[in-house]
Amino acid sequence: MTESIYHPTPRIRRSVVRDILAFHNRPDMVPFAGGLPDPATLPVAAIARSAQYVLARQGAVALQYGTTEGYEPLRQYIANYLSEGGFPSTADEILITSGSQQGMDLISRWLLQPGDPVYTVEPLYNGALQNFEGHGASIYPLATDNEGPLPSALQHTLKDRHENRPGGFVSLSPRRKESRNRGPGLVYLQPTLDNPSGRIVSPERRRSLARAMTGFSGWLLEEDPYGELMFDRNRFQYISSFRSHQSLLLGSFSKIVSPSLRIGWIRAPRKAIDTMLPLKQSMDLHTNLFSQMVLHRFLEDTDLQEHLNLTRKEYARKQKITLAALKKYGLVSASAVAPAGGMFLWLRSPVDSDELAKLALKYGVAIVPGSAFFSQPEDGKEFYRLNFTAVDMDSIEVGVERLARAMKTLQGSVATIEKSTVYV
């Protein structure tokens, strides 16, 4: 028998969210499942103007190959944005990626090998979970409270799992499989409006978490897709800003401008960017240059804060209506409160949420079961995630009523569901 030339790769779990999204376009379906922006907030006219401007003035450049690092004016814009927010950055410390998901995959290819640890919270963003498991990482859930990970738990976990190594760029060179020990891994956090729970780490705890990583030779991977979707306050200081020498900040324009442009970014030390460039080049040479140039023109030509304020206002209205409907139909307690921003509600269910999600589709409403957000799927069976931003305002109560009927069918009772509550 001829020996296979293929090497086994870790099994990548199927995306439950993507499977359910296949039903979103079904007639009369109320789509609570995806993490989609409100279609009414997408800046169609402004993007059209930006595209026309780019083609008219720099068309030949925009349709040509670009640099692996990304379009320099866009990188400078992001660096300025971070600097103005209290995290001094330069364009050389920015790498443009094809969405934040590619950024996460790129970082995992660079840092992780099978068996390496990832320290994080659960529930965990399902895209991150799928990515880390696909690279063979071992997930180590951290102890949390309503504010997120406990600094003491993080410190003790890192100390117990590793002999701390000297700081610096210990992980810049890829480890060779034939001579490697298990690497230090990384800490992955979404400290602002965490998907799916909506939790927010306070400014004080952010500093404490950075201190808890003192001596940890691995990297912090901080993702911030929802930081600009706080309803009533400005963005928070990044944890990465307190640990800039060994932190990777991952951002995206998908939730605040347009997901189809597929523009994300990594902010990292220049040495780290330099070592990631060959990997990025091997993946796709560079991120779509036309999209980068159109986005940059949009950012230069549009009052982004005005656009964001309109988006926040609309999302706050939808969240309020959704929570009121959930209370009306007994799916949450009367005293339940929602997160201070974002796109999701994380709910506790008195029935198996996998079964609820399946039955809900038959009732014409799509949700995501909690099992999609846990490394051990059974740990999430009493939770589900509901997205309120992509649903038409007039359809929100219709969808909640359908969900209530599906849940009561599974319960075999028409009694008010008292166990369910918003989890924050």
Q: Pick from 87, 373, 102: which is nearest to 241 by CA?
A: 87
Name the pairing type of β-strands 383-387 and 368-369. antiparallel
User: What pLDDT does residue 299 have?
Assistant: 98
Q: Pick from 8, 23, 30, 9: which is nearest to 365 by CA?
A: 30
For the cut 90, the answer to whether the pLDDT of residue 174 exceeds it is no
CA 329 to the chain's CA centroid: 30
User: What pLDDT does residue 277 have?
Assistant: 98
Confidence category of residue 26, pLDDT binned at 50, 70, 90: confident
Mean pLDDT within 320-333 = 97
Sign of the dihedral defined by the CA atoms of residues 318, 385, 369, 37, in that order = positive
Q: At what angle do helices 396-411 and 304-328 cross, to 10 degrees?
A: 40
Domain ranges of the chain: 16-43+305-411, 44-301
Confidence category of residue 424, pLDDT binned at 50, 70, 90: very low
For the cut 70, the answer to whether the pLDDT of residue 175 exceeds it is no
Is 119 strand, coil or helix?
A: strand
Q: Pick from 354, 353, 367, 369: which is nearest to 400 by CA?
A: 367
Between CA 177 and CA 132 the distance in angstroms is: 18
| Domain 16-43+305-411 grouped into CATH 3.90.1150.10 | yes
- Residue 4 φ/ψ region, left for φ over 0, alpha for ψ in the -120 to 50 degree band, beta for the rest: beta
- Three-point CA angle 106, 18, 400, nearest 5°: 130
Tell me the β-bridge partners of 341.
230
Is 130 strand, coil or helix?
A: helix
Whether the CB-CB separation of 129 and 144 falls below 8 Å is answered with no
Are both 16-43+305-411 and 44-301 of the same fold? no
pTM for this predicted structure: 0.90
User: What pLDDT does residue 11 have?
Assistant: 61
Q: How distant, in Å, are the alpha carbons of 121, 165, 171, 200 from that of 342?
A: 18, 37, 34, 10
Tell me the β-bridge partners of 383.
348
User: What pLDDT does residue 19 have?
Assistant: 75
Between CA 259 and CA 361 the distance in angstroms is: 25
69 CB neighbour count, 10 Å cutoff:
20
Between CA 347 and CA 407 the distance in angstroms is: 13
Name the pairing type of β-strands 144-145 and 148-149. antiparallel
Whether the CB-CB separation of 370 and 61 falls below 8 Å is answered with no
Confidence category of residue 234, pLDDT binned at 50, 70, 90: confident
Asked if omega into 123 is within 30° of 0 (cis), the reply is yes
Residue bearing tokens 């600094």: 151
203 burial (CB, 10 Å; 0-12 / 13-18 / 19+) is exposed
Is 189 strand, coil or helix?
A: strand
Between CA 208 and CA 50 the distance in angstroms is: 42
- Quote the DSSP letter at residue 333: -
* CATH dotted code for 44-301: 3.40.640.10
Residue 263, phi then psi, degrees to nearest 5? -120, 115
Residues 6+ apart with CB under 8 A from 313: none
For the cut 70, the answer to whether the pLDDT of residue 259 exceeds it is yes
Confidence category of residue 349, pLDDT binned at 50, 70, 90: very high
